[in-house]
Structure formats: C-alpha cells, structure tokens
Amino acid sequence: MTTVTEDSELAGLRDALGLLKDREQVAQRLLESSAKHSFDPDKELDWDAPVEDGKWFWPPELVSLYDTPLWRRMSEEQRMDLARHEAASLASLGIWFEIILMQLLVRHIYDKSVTSAHVRYALTEIADECRHSMMFARMIEKGGAPTYPVTKLNHNLARVLKTVSTTPGSFACTLLGEEILDWMQRLTFPDERVQTIVRGVTRIHVVEEARHVRYAREELRRQMVTAPRWERELTRVSSGEAARVFSIAFVNPQVYTNVGLDRREALAQVKASGHRREVMQSGAKRLTDFLDDIGVLRGAGRRLWKSSGLLA
Ligand SMILES: [Fe+2]
Ligand SMILES: [Fe+2]
C-alpha cells in the first residue's frame, strides 16, 4: 500500500518536473523570439505624418454597426467618423486590459525564481505591454477622438479581479483580452483602406502579441492540469463572467452619441446584427476552441460563455 502511494507521489513529482522543464523551454524560445522581433513604436512609426484623407481608422466590416439598417442610412463621412471613434474606444479598452495584465504578471512572478527564463520572459512581456499602452495612447491622440474609459462598475470589478484572481483565472482573462482584439488587428494591418499609422500600430501589436498568447496558453494548459479542483471550477466561472462583461464593454456606447447617432437605437441594432454576431464569434473562435480543449468551457462557465454571445 505504502509502495503504491510512494510510486504515485514519485510519478507526480516526475510529471511536475517534466512540466517545469517544458515551462523553461517555452520561455527560452519566447525570449529568443523577443530578442529578434521587438519594436520601439516611438522610433518605428512616423507619428508626424498627417492623417490621410479618405482612409479609415478601422476596417468598416469591423465597425459595430456595419451592415445594419442604421449603417445604410449613414453617410460615408459619418461611417468613417464612427470607425475613428470605435478605433479610439478599442485602443482605450486595450490600454485598460494591458494595465490589468501588467499587474497580473507582476503578481504571477512574485514567488518565482528570479533567474528563471519563465520570470525573465514575464518581465519582457510587461515591457512589451508598457510600450503598447503608450503606443495606443498616441494613436488615440493622433485620431483626435477622445479616450473611452469603461464604466465605473467594470473599472472596479477589474480592480478586484487584478488584485485577487488566482493564476489560471488570470491567464484565462488575459487570453480573452488578447485573442479577440488580435483577430481584428490581423485583418487591420494588411488593409490598404486603413490609415498608415493604424496599420503600423496593429502590425507591431500582432507580432509581439503572438508571443503573449503562446505564453498565456501554455501556462493555462499547465494550470488546468495541476491546479486543485476548486481553482479549476473558479476559472470556468470567472472566465465566463469576464466574457460576459467583455462582450458588453467591448465598444463604449458613447461613440454613437459622439458621431450624432441615437445611442439606444444604435445599441439595439448592434444587438440584432447577424453580421456583428458573426464577427465577434469568429474573433473568439480560436480562443473558445482552445478553452474547450483544455476543459475551461464546462458547466456554469459554459453557460456564461454562451450568454456573452462569444460562443456559438
Ligand atoms: Fe499588448
Ligand atoms: Fe499582450
């Protein structure tokens, strides 16, 4: 009996060591890639170039009202204006997420070996996010639209989350914040109808973000195997709740008022839009497939994901 327990403990330890080694290898590769492909947006992009006439700040198909009855009534000028405000709204959301993420990463490494590649990569990622947030802020200023903070309630919910959330929950939320915006940015940077500065910003972000997604995915996959049952359950529910909040907060409704539209009508049309549902579900697909694969989309958590509209 004793032998069996010892054997299984030894096997568990071997597994854990195997996972830790794997963790270091992943981090090592991400560090090598960071050394080769990192950008300084202040130097890399031409911030003094004038805004280009007739170019979009965000691809029209990715604008929330695209293809709705209201969109068809809007002039081209008003559509482009809405795209400019939505780009500012998404960039504001991006900065909010990155500031949360930086704190989550700092908390994640607090107890770990400072000389490990895993910690060194986390610090590299924090440095990436610092540059991104400054870059997004410059992009908002360049477009001339205001910043769009999230509601007081969401702002404070996130204050709690970033302070108390456990590791797997943190990485699940990280992926939620990163993958959907990343999917949109992959369509934005090659698009010749889009402003050069926005294409530059999204290109830099896509390149650096691919590593962040990899790091978070590997860590979450590991955690969903090693974390205790209560923590895995908590991760399912908290990520589902985060998805619900995220889908509502995605575009700040003040954008509609600011381009002269009726806010309630606009919100109702976005809600009823089949195109929009498809965009959001396509954007989330890569993420929801992955989360399903590692066992995050189960039970009450799955129901929350469905109610967010991000899971078909
Ligand atoms: Fe970022
Ligand atoms: Fe990131």
* Ligand 1 center to 111 CA (angstroms): 24
Count Cβ atoms within 10 A of the Cβ of residue 284 and give its class: 0-12 exposed, 13-18 middle, 19 or more buried: buried
Considering every ligand atom shown, identify the ligand nearest to the alpha carbon of residue 125 and give its number.
2
Q: Is residue 291 part of a domain?
A: yes
* Ligand 1 center to 138 CA (angstroms): 14
pTM (2 d.p.): 0.90
Q: Is residue 185 part of a domain?
A: yes
Considering every ligand atom shown, identify the ligand nearest to the alpha carbon of residue 105 and give its number.
2
Q: Is residue 98 part of a domain?
A: yes
Q: Is residue 10 part of a domain?
A: no
Task: Tell me the pLDDT of the chain (312 aa) as tens digits.
Answer: 444 444 555 455 455 555 555 889 999 999 999 999 999 999 999 999 999 999 999 999 999 999 999 999 999 999 999 999 999 999 999 999 999 999 999 999 999 999 999 999 999 999 999 999 999 999 999 999 999 999 999 999 889 988 988 888 888 888 998 999 999 999 999 999 999 999 999 999 999 999 999 999 998 998 899 899 999 999 999 899 889 888 888 999 999 999 999 999 999 999 999 999 999 999 999 999 999 999 999 999 999 999 999 998
Q: Is residue 17 part of a domain?
A: no
* Ligand 2 center to 230 CA (angstroms): 27
What is d(CA 157, CA 238) in angstroms, rounded to the nearest whole number? 12
Structure tokens belonging to residue 183: 């999917």
* Ligand 1 center to 129 CA (angstroms): 5
Q: Is residue 49 part of a domain?
A: no
* Ligand 1 center to 2 CA (angstroms): 50
CA 220 to chain CA centroid, Å, is: 15
Q: Is residue 159 part of a domain?
A: yes
Q: Is residue 15 part of a domain?
A: no
Query: Which residues are found with C-beta within 5 Å of the ion, ligand 2?
Result: 209, 212
- What's the domain count of the chain? 1
* Ligand 1 center to 99 CA (angstroms): 9
Domain carrying residue 290? 22-39+56-308
Do the beta carbons of residue 158 and residue 169 sit within 8 Å?
Answer: no
User: The domain spanning residue 279 has which CATH number?
Assistant: 1.10.620.20
